[in-house]
Chains A and B, each alone.
Chain A
Amino acid sequence: MAVAAMNYEGRVNVGRVERWLSMVAGGALAAYALKRRDKPGGAVALAGAALLYRGATGHCDLYQQLGINRAHGNGAREFGTGVIADRGSDTREQLGGGRGIHVEESVTINRPLSELYRFWRNFENLPTFMNHLESVSTREEGISHWVAKGPARMSVEWDARIINEVENKVIGWQSLDGSTISTAGSVNFGEDAHGTRVTVHLQYNPPGGKLGAAIAKLFGEEPNQTIREDLRRFKQLMEAGEIPTTQGQPSGRKRRPSYTGTKA
């Protein structure tokens, strides 16, 4: 993570940058940042962290945030920030009692709420700012097919269905039973003094083995950061109409490409 995770192709003086970082960020963050980079295959570490997280917090309010039902009845009864759908959509069941990784990230966007909601609700738009997604297509009402770029040109695919939807408020989704990946998520929209607040909750549980490692990589070694970058690009696209880049600009580097640009 952090500076260490940059794609250093050039002879940047990593040592100096790290030292600077550790001075600036203070011991804890830096130590964390630097230690994390040595961890191989993020999956194990992450699962561990997630378990720790759950251990520490006890029963999390995930379902509330994901808008997932514990009660009977259908229709959209509001429940906290989420909404009630039908019983079978409990991610805790699907994710084996709520194990896995949970991420929450928020961004404030200076655009009308309804415009942001509409853009997001059209899932086909998601790959324009979610770099790890290749495509999302709608199969039938409420069911969509997701294709993500995995490492080594391996792509990971799954079907998901909308388990929860309140216009201009929340969209919740969940992978179908038997998918390669167990994932559930929601995006909440709310008015804020400085614009529209968009909050994403994402939970996923990578299976074991090679595929699991691939999926873990998909969401990055730091899933929080991955989602944060997605949301940042969403904001840039909606506010500025384009995502800033330096990719393709000239430099005096003969062969070595720049080590920065848009973070995956």
Chain B
Amino acid sequence: MKAVCWEGRGDVRVETVPDPTLLNPRDAIVRITSTAICGSDLHLYDGFIPTMQEGDILGHEFMGIVEDVGRGAANLKKGDRVIVPFPIACGHCFFCMHDLYSCCDNSNPNAWMAEKFYGYTAAGLFGYSHMLGGYAGGQAEYARVPFADVGPFKVPDHLTDEQVLFLTDIYPTGFMAAENCNIQPRDTVAVWGCGPVGQFAIRSAYLLGAGRVIAIDTVPERLKMANEGGAETLDSMDPDVFYKLRNMTGGLGPDACIDAVGMEAHGPHLDYVYDKVKTMTFMATDRISALRQAIHACRKGGTVSVPGVYGGLLDKVPFGAAMNKGLTIKTGQTHVHKYLPRLLRYIETGEIDPSFVVTHRVSLDEAPDMYRTFRDKKDGCVKVVMKPH
């Protein structure tokens, strides 16, 4: 089959690889009909996540038709149309039982490696480094899905791929980011980053009762999309973001701040240059200007919610501000499974149509170009969906 492989920093290629097979009783094989590129893939593409190996198959936002099922996944059958959550979860450990699916204890074959980095391992993820499982991803014609009796979620035929595909990751991610804000009616929520995650965070914040959302980014078409979602916008390259936020909130600051940017933030301030130098010289692993600003801007007693991905050690985190202002910080890889029934209902009732983020529809062969376009935010690119079949 054809698959999108990571071949080094800034180098992905479409290669011909063997078809996947069932390896464990609870596995299923899915023939992929739609698969997306995520902002998280850019962290791999840019070489920010360690333990990638040349030839690794990328992709964790995919859906399709069940092609083969192991005897331990009897609730699925050939022909079922499913979306596949990006974290791999066993469904039976303490964490899965508590809806903390992305913290599953039993799905990372390389748990020991993650333990060296993090103390304890999180769930294995599709196509997201060896430390997080080393699983082949879903930017391919087929994928093997472990614990298929727990992960794959059947979707109704009357909804299109593009309407349900983002249940795999970015829609629940934006939703969990907003849910983590503990939004009270009429709260103001500020969202850093208007990529796909930020877009879903904006809409979810309103859905959960926010009175006002202020979105921060510098890419015009992304700001426009945020605006269409009801957000007021600020330019992240404007050195006065903090002051503007303060004035927009009557001197209080936003009730909650969402960092939907993650470890490769850009920024207008000197701290960005500092981060850039430090990460380039291996003295820090992450560039964190958005997170700093979110903590700094948040009102006293407010919440900073961090869906943005961080990898390792963050330098100059304003923890004093967080402590003295009594902030709550919430974060995590998304517990996708937990949100599926609820979010599917919103799609079915027309509360939201997630396909609004899609700007590029291409074949698998165009992956190398699309990674570049998406990373460079060229051509109005917000979300790429690839059609392997």
Contacts and interface: CB of A to CB of B under 8 A. Distances in A.
Which label, helix, strand, loop or mixed, suits the secondary structure of the A interface? loop
Contact of A239 (B50, B56, B105, B116): B105
A128 to B, nearest CB: 14
12 contacts: A3-B113, A12-B54, A23-B283, A232-B112, A242-B72, A244-B124, A247-B23, A251-B17, A251-B136, A256-B55, A258-B134, A260-B51
Interface stretch (B89-97, B219-227, B294-302, B360-368): B89-97
B111 interface: yes
Contacts, number: 155
Interface in A171-206: 194-195
A245 interface: yes
A248 interface: yes
B7 A252 contact: yes
Nearest to A259: B53
A248 B23 contact: yes
Contact of A235 (B97, B106, B135, B284): B106
Contact of B284 (A23, A232, A262, A263): A23
B268 interface: no
A108 B113 CA distance: 19
Interface string A16-38: 11011101110001000100000
Contacts of A20: 50, 117, 282, 285, 312
Contact of B109 (A194, A246, A251): A246
Contacts of B332: none
Task: Report the interface size class on chain A.
Answer: 35 or more
Contact of B134 (A194, A243, A248, A261): A261
A21 B94 contact: no
A246 B135 contact: yes
Contact of A251 (B57, B91, B147): B57
Task: Report the interface size class on chain B.
Answer: 35 or more
User: For A110, A243, A249, A256, which residue has the most chain B Cβ atoms within 10 angstroms?
Assistant: A249
Nearest to B49: A20
Nearest to A17: B50
B55 A10 contact: yes
B331 interface: no
Contact of B93 (A33, A240, A243): A240
Contacts of B13: 252
B247 interface: no
Given A23-B313, A225-B112, A252-B54, A240 B17 contact: no
Given A20-B117, A240-B26, A253-B55, 18 more contacts: A2-B116, A6-B113, A11-B54, A25-B116, A108-B94, A110-B93, A110-B97, A225-B112, A240-B90, A240-B91, A240-B93, A244-B109, A245-B23, A246-B133, A252-B5, A253-B53, A258-B134, A261-B109
